[in-house]
A and B are shown apart, each in its own frame.
Chain A
Amino acid sequence: MTTPILSARDVRKSYGRGSNRFDALKGVSLDIHEGESVAIIGRSGSGKSTLMHVLALLDTPTDGTVELAGADTGTLRGASLNRTRNTTFGFVFQQFFLTPNASVLENVVLPLKIAGVGRRERRRRGLAVLEQLELADKARNAAVNLSGGQKQRSVIARALVNDPRIIFADEPTGNLDTATGAVVEDLLFGLHREQGITLIVVTHDEELAARCDRRIHIRDGRIVDDEAVAA
């Protein structure tokens, strides 16, 4: 068996102290292999977002370990942690988080800018990924002038531009109508199938979850069900 790309062992996360203490995660263990598509499903407050943040190394668990390709991430600090996040993960958020007045291209190449890639190379890769997502004609437009679907495609372009191994998508279709949402879903699963990118989707949308290889149900900070669908 290959080493899982992400592996969580008895991860706990709590906020606050004493009587105000709130346990968001109460001992979660899971392995995610390269090329899988995984849905993390639960109601709001179930701890699914916290689990995603811990897996994406945005948050450190109170207890337990997270391994990335077999290496303990608890030892990563500062610059090496930042570099790992920058090169390994892509993020797609429900609220897009695009800088409104900057152009689509500028928004898309932000991860490359942070990584310190030169201007010319940034532009080349940014345009290439926009081409791939059929947004090349919008490259110069301000992000604020895009439709919802175009915004989410820009966000996916931004997640893809740095050739990540894992894409985290937090309610990627939550702000979109059904038709546009379906287009974005097709896009994400297409990338997953064709480029073998590991996809981790956080959602409470059962239909979206149904398209994933594997569904992990979270309730009150625990995994209650982990069903793999025979592909």
Chain B
Amino acid sequence: MKALDLVGSAIGNTFRSKTRTILTILAIFVGAFTLTITNGLGTGINRYIDDTVAAIGAEDVMTVTKIAENATDAGDGPREYDPDAVAGAPVPGPPGSTSIVAPIGGSQLDELAAVDGVQRVQPVKSIDADYVVAGDGTRYVIDVGAFVNGMRLQLAAGEQPDAAASGYQVVIPDSYVDALGFDAADAAIGETVAIAVTDGDGVQHELEAEVVGVSEASLGTTDSVVPNDAYTDALFAAQSTGLDPADQDSFTQATVWYDPAATPEAVTALQDRLTEAGYDSTTVEEQLGSFKAVIDGIVLVLNAFAVIALLAASFGIVNTLLMSVQERTREIGLMKAMGMGSGRVFGLFSLEAVFIGFLGSAIGALVGVVVGTAVSSALSGALLANLPGLTLIAFDPVSIAVIILVVMGVAFLAGTLPAARAARQDPVESLRYE
């Protein structure tokens, strides 16, 4: 028997007992449907996190701080006061915790640039803005974020700030659009806002910039304005007016670029070298890695439930095919008498199982995609409206194909027992069967 005929016969046989086949397919459908939805959930949330990662920082970038000489080993008793130490960025932990870091100056930047694997170093100019204002409107308190080339903000309107532009550009958060007096996100583009900073002498400077984009709130970014490089430099210069030149050239953090193609091992090695040189480094991956681990864990548990449903369904396949073999005893005997080999008989029945698995999983995946998309769009308009850009259940064609293939594999395994029984049948015994 030709392979094509074998497949054709198997498919034809599947529909011989329609009710039974449909019930079995339904059982598989439930498993495949659940698996598709849970997988879609994982894909959706992880994709959102990936987008967020791009909004927090570029992929080939790490944030570096200098470890203060006396900041380490808390076990050594009380720490000596260091007048040069500066309070750095908040560290993970209870609110208010900060790490004490040593300042990074010009010589430290040169030292960092010399570390093997570092392509470029740039100090992080942190700006402490007093307020933001549009025209003569109300002044609002705001944080100023940093924009690193390679970052992708999640925008509601407009475009990314241009790092190379000499003009002052700024991206304002979506939540400030109304307050600043703009009708909509689109209307804000091209308008002018001003940010004020106070210098060392207590004098307030107000600097104007063009709004090029409106950013959406997301996991990683808070409600902060993001200026381009030119504007950042200008604000920083204004803020530093009147400061001791030595203090001007002192930063808490620096940004280090490395080879975007570097393997995780190479990145770890680079981090080790930086540690040796006395610097603490954090990649964007590290900042969000734990999020992903939690999501993956939850999805794994949900998938486990779907797999249990599939396992139950596979017993349904065994049962269906065993009945089928029983019913078709004489037919099998006849085919064997006519010279059909045992291997082909086995193939016929296991293909039937695989086809049942295919139908169940394909329909399950299809309905899963439709229902998931509908639920996801319903939720993003209501329950999850605060997280724009989040598609709760997203689908990846590869993982759906994998689900279908896995279910077909499970169906094949379930079909081996009945198929082997059919293949073992003795034609004489089968033909005698009344």
Contacts and interface: CB of A to CB of B under 8 A. Distances in A.
Interface string B324-338: 000000110111011
B431 A97 contact: yes
B339 A113 contact: no
Interface string B1-15: 110010001001000
B179 interface: no
A58 B428 contact: yes
A156 to B, nearest CB: 14
Given A93-B431, A113-B5, A113-B9, A83 B338 contact: no
A58 B428 CA distance: 6
B253 to A, nearest CB: 73
A195 interface: no
A94 B371 CA distance: 54
Interface in A182-217: none
Contact of B1 (A53, A97, A113): A113
Contact of A97 (B5, B9, B330, B341): B330
B71 to A, nearest CB: 78
A114 B1 contact: yes
Given A113-B1, A114-B1, A85 B341 contact: no
A111 interface: yes
Contacts of B428: 53, 58-59
Nearest to B17: A101
Interface in A114-157: 114-116, 118-119
A167 B335 CA distance: 16
Interface string B44-66: 00000000000000000000000
A111 B338 contact: yes
Nearest to B341: A82
Given A97-B331, A101-B16, A110-B335, A79 B427 contact: no
Nearest to A158: B338
A93 B427 CA distance: 13
Contacts of A49: 432
A82 B16 contact: no
Interface in B232-286: none
B215 to A, nearest CB: 63
B340 interface: yes
A95 to B, nearest CB: 8
A91 B331 contact: no
Contacts of A86: 338-339
A85 B2 contact: no
A3 interface: no
A62 interface: no
Interface residues of A, number: 29
A18 interface: no
A12 to B, nearest CB: 16
A114 B338 contact: yes
Contact of B339 (A53, A85, A93, A119): A85
Contact of B341 (A58, A59, A79, A99): A79
Interface in A59-116: 59, 78-79, 81-87, 91, 93, 95, 97, 99, 101-102, 110-111, 113-116
Contacts of A93: 334, 431
Contacts of B333: 97
A71 to B, nearest CB: 17
A126 to B, nearest CB: 14
Contact of B338 (A59, A79, A91): A91
Contacts of A82: 339-341
Residue with the greatest number of chain A CB neighbours at <10 A, chosen from B335, B432, B434: B335
Contact of B334 (A97, A101, A116, A119): A97
Interface of B: 1-2, 5, 9, 12, 16, 330-331, 333-335, 337-341, 344, 427-428, 431-432, 434
Interface of A: 49, 53, 56, 58-59, 78-79, 81-87, 91, 93, 95, 97, 99, 101-102, 110-111, 113-116, 118-119
Given A58-B427, A85-B339, A86-B338, 15 more contacts: A49-B432, A58-B337, A59-B428, A82-B339, A83-B339, A84-B339, A97-B330, A110-B334, A110-B335, A114-B1, A114-B338, A114-B344, A116-B1, A116-B2, A118-B2
30 contacts: A53-B428, A59-B428, A79-B341, A81-B339, A82-B339, A82-B340, A83-B339, A84-B339, A91-B337, A91-B338, A93-B431, A95-B434, A97-B330, A97-B331, A97-B334, A97-B431, A101-B16, A102-B12, A110-B334, A110-B335, A110-B338, A113-B5, A113-B9, A114-B1, A114-B340, A115-B339, A116-B1, A116-B2, A116-B5, A119-B5
